[in-house]
Structure formats: structure tokens, C-alpha cells
Structure 1
Amino acid sequence: MSVSVCTFNVNSIRSRIDLILRWLKEKRDVDILCLQEIKCEEAQFPFEAFEALGYRCAVNGQKRLNGVAICSKQPLSSVEKLFGNDILDREKRLIQAQVGETLLLNCYIPRGGPESGERHDYKMRFFDALAAYVETLLKRQKRLLLLGDLNVALTDLDVYDPEVFEGAVGFLPSEKERMRTLLETGLHDCYRQIHPESRDFTWWDYRTAGIWRDEGMRIDYILASDPLCEACLGIEVDLWTRRRRSPTPSDHAPLVAEFEHL
């Protein structure tokens, strides 16, 4: 039986819970839901709402900022929230769990900032630390999924207009270089493998109502090691949660992949 895996930056789980529950009940019953930017500590996470739908959740939360969670209908084991690295552990941006034979790494990369600033430096160092960690994992773990909001649009196809984004955070040459280094550890961009020429996005600016003109960026990813990339049956952006006025949407849309098995 195939397994559906989703990554979704919800931009506050407590603000978005009604929307997410409606989506899961009415539109898409995903097996594994990886959330970023939940913006709450573990004690404030709505465990009961997900448990009522058959999920068990692991949460690495932070007050008002960041935070990640994995909600799964399949058993989770070996959950990790600390990684022994000051950069990866400084903010709550990473959570890891074993699902069957697959190691799942849910990640929220820092947004960054201008290239001369501290936030850009933190983003670069986070990418470096993450790539080194993934490289170590892949020496002993052949089935690895790294997914989440990676805050980089890698190619011209990943933005609605490359000229508009030239010099913008999320489309900087230094950010793209770090993203390529992460892929070179042995991971593949599942979306681009299946849709090599498509121009689809996962984020649209609230301020410009860009969703209604499809003026967005593709900054959310599902990256897979060789065996899982080969097992990916399909992947798509689900716009149901984004193209609506109520319940209030996140500025991201879910990215959902179907795998033959994990």
C-alpha cells in the first residue's frame, strides 16, 4: 500500500488548526504530515485534534517562533529533537523520526536576510551543518527523506519572474549554492524529478495577494535518497488550503508526495 507524505509550513498551528482539520477530513487524508513554523511550545500543540484523526505527533516546539512537528498514522520511533550541534539546536527547526525503514527529517531552514547580515550568516551555517549531518546519516541510512520549508528557490523555474527576484532573500547565489551542496550529499528533489519543466510554487506573499496571480516561489521541498526517489509515484502542490479566505490560510501550500512504500 502506498504512503502519502506531506510538508506544510502552517505559519502558526493554533491559527491554522481549523483549516488543517478541514483539509484532512474533506480533501486529502495524508498518512504523514510534517509541519513547520508551528509557533508554539509542545504543551500548546493541539495533540488531541490530530489524535482524533488517527495521528500520533512528535513536536519540537518554541514559544511564538519556529517549531516543527511530525504527525503520522504510521508508528514513529527513535524521535530526535537535539542534534549535538549549536547551529542546528539554537532554534527549534529540526525533528527526526524513524517510520518503518525510512528516516524522516523535518526541517525549517532560517529565512535569512541581506548577505552582509547576521541572519544570512546563520542561514549559511545552518545549511552547512545540515549538509554535514545528512552526509553522516547517509553512510548508515539508505532510506532518508528530508522535507520542509528550505527557504530557497533553486532555479528560475522556481519563481514566477527571475528578474523580480534578482538579489532577493531566498534567491541569492549563496543560498542556491548551499542548496546544491545539500543535494550533492545524495538527495534528490522529488518534485523536480517528476516535473522537470513545471513552474509551480508553494509560497505566495500575503501583502501582494500573489496567490490570485500565481506570483510565488517554490521553497518547500521533499528530498529523497536514491531508493525513495525511485519509489516516488507522484508529487503535487495542493492549493485547497491556500486559495481561500476562510479559514485564514497560511502563506504556504502543502506539498504532498505519494511513495510506493517507506
Structure 2
Amino acid sequence: MAVTVCTFNVNSIRSRIDLIERWLNEKREVDILCFQEIKCEAEQFPTGRFEALGYHCAVNGQKRLNGVAVCSKLPIEDVKTAFGIDVLDREKRLLECRIAETVLLNCYIPRGGLEGEERHRYKMEFFDALTRYTAALLKEYQKVILLGDFNVALEEIDVYDPEVFEGAVGFLPSEKEKMRTLLQTGLVDCYRARHPKEKGFTWWDYRGGGIWRDEGMRIDYLLASETGCDNLEAIDIDLWTRRRRSPTPSDHAPIVATFGTL
């Protein structure tokens, strides 16, 4: 049975829950929802509203900032929210679980800062630790999906105008190098594998109406081990939620992938 998996930076789950419910009820069915930047603690997450839609929920939340969650119509097992690695545990940015035969790692990479700034160092250290952790996962499990907001546009095709983003956070050479090293652990960028020449953006600044001119960046990814990617049937960026005027949208759009099996 085909399974749909979504990654979506919601920029506050409580601000976006009405919009998400409309999307799920009016636009498309999704089996597994992976949210980033939920901006609430676990007890504030709208678990009841997702349960009413048939989902099980796992949350790694943080007050007013960060936070990730997985809501799945399939059973969620082996939930992990602490990793024993300071840079990964310092803020609530990572949640691991097993769904069917697949290990799913939902992540929200720090936005970072310019070269030399503390937030840039934190981002680099987070990438290094995540890369080591992912490499170990891939040695242990055949089916791994790593997805979320990585806050890096990897190639020129991943921004609407490379000159505009030259020297900007999210498009720095050091950030791209870390992202490429992560991919080299044995992960496939599923969207780029299916859409090698398409400028499919996932983030647009709220200011200036960039969504209507498609002046965005692709900073959200769904990465899979080669075994997992073999089951990929389709993947797209759903603009329905981002193009809403009401309820107020996130500045990101969700990526939705369909796998033959998990």
C-alpha cells in the first residue's frame, strides 16, 4: 500500500492548525506529517485535533522556539527525542522514530549566521554531529528517511537569483559543503532525483509578496537511503497552503512524497 510522507516547517503549529486541517480535508490526504518549528512544548501541541483526524503524534517541543513533531496514521514506534550529543540536544530540533520498516529522522537545522558568528559555528557543529549520527543509522538500517528544514539552498537552481543570495545565510559555501557531506553518507535528495531541472522552492519571504513572483529558495528536503528511495513513486511541493491569505500561511510550503511501501 502506498504511503504519503510530508515535511513542513509550519512556523508555529498553533497558528497553523486551522490551515493544516483545511489542507488535509480539502486538498489531499497525507499518511505521515513531519513538522518543524512548532514553537510549543509537547503539552501545548494540538494532539487532540490530529487524533480526531486519525493520527498518532510524537513531539519534541520547546517553549516559543524550535520543536519538531511527527503525526502518523501508521503506528509510531521507538520514539527518540534525546540523543546524548550536546549539540543535537541543546535545542529541540530532532525527533527519531520507526514507522513500519523505516527509520524516520525529522530535523530542524539551525538557521545559523554569517561566517565567524556564534550561530554559524552552532550550525556547522550541528551539521557535523547530524552527519555522524546519520552515517551510523545508515550502517544499521536499510530504510532511512531524513527530512526537514535544513536552512541551506544547495545549488544555484535552488534559489530564484544566485546574485541576490550571494554571501547570504542559507547560501554560504560553508553551509553547502556541510550539506554535501551529509548527502555523501548515502542519502538521496528525493526531490532533485525526480525533478533534476525544476526550480522547486519551499520558502518565500513574507515581505514583498515573493510567493506571487516565485522569488524563493529550496531549503526543505526529503532525503532517503538508496533502499528507501527505490520505493519513491512521486514527490512534489504543494503550494496550496503557502498561497492562502487566510488562515495566515507559514513562510514554507510542504513537500509531499509517495512511497510504494515504507
Give the TM-score, by structure 1 length: 0.99
Aligned equivalents of 2:28, 2:220: Cα separation in 1? 18
Corresponding residue for residue 97 of structure 2 = 97
Aligned equivalents of 2:200, 2:142: Cα separation in 1? 29
Structure 1 segments of 4 or more deviating over 2 A?
none
Quick one: which amino acid aligns to residue 139 of structure 1? K
Residue by residue over 1:120-154, the C-alpha shift from the partner in whole angstroms, topping out at 9 and shown as x without a partner, is: 00000000000000011111111000000000000
Aligned equivalents of 2:70, 2:49: Cα separation in 1? 14
Correspondence list, 1:1-262, <5 A: 1-262=1-262
Aligned equivalents of 2:79, 2:162: Cα separation in 1? 39
Give the TM-score, by structure 2 length: 0.99
Residue by residue over 1:62-83, the C-alpha shift from the partner in whole angstroms, topping out at 9 and shown as x without a partner, is: 0000000000000000000000
Which segment drifts farther, 35-44 or 227-236?
227-236
Aligned equivalents of 1:234, 1:165: Cα separation in 2? 30
Aligned equivalents of 1:111, 1:216: Cα separation in 2? 16
Q: 1:200: Cα distance to partner? A: 1.1
Aligned equivalents of 1:32, 1:108: Cα separation in 2? 17
SS at structure 2 position matched to 1:113: coil
SS at structure 1 position matched to 2:185: coil
Residue by residue over 1:25-47, the C-alpha shift from the partner in whole angstroms, topping out at 9 and shown as x without a partner, is: 11111000000000000010000
RMSD: 0.5
Identical aligned residues as a percent? 71
Structure 1: any 5+ residue segments left out of the alignment? none
Q: 1:164: Cα distance to partner? A: 0.5
Q: 1:230: Cα distance to partner? A: 1.2
Aligned equivalents of 1:124, 1:37: Cα separation in 2? 19
SS at structure 2 position matched to 1:188: strand
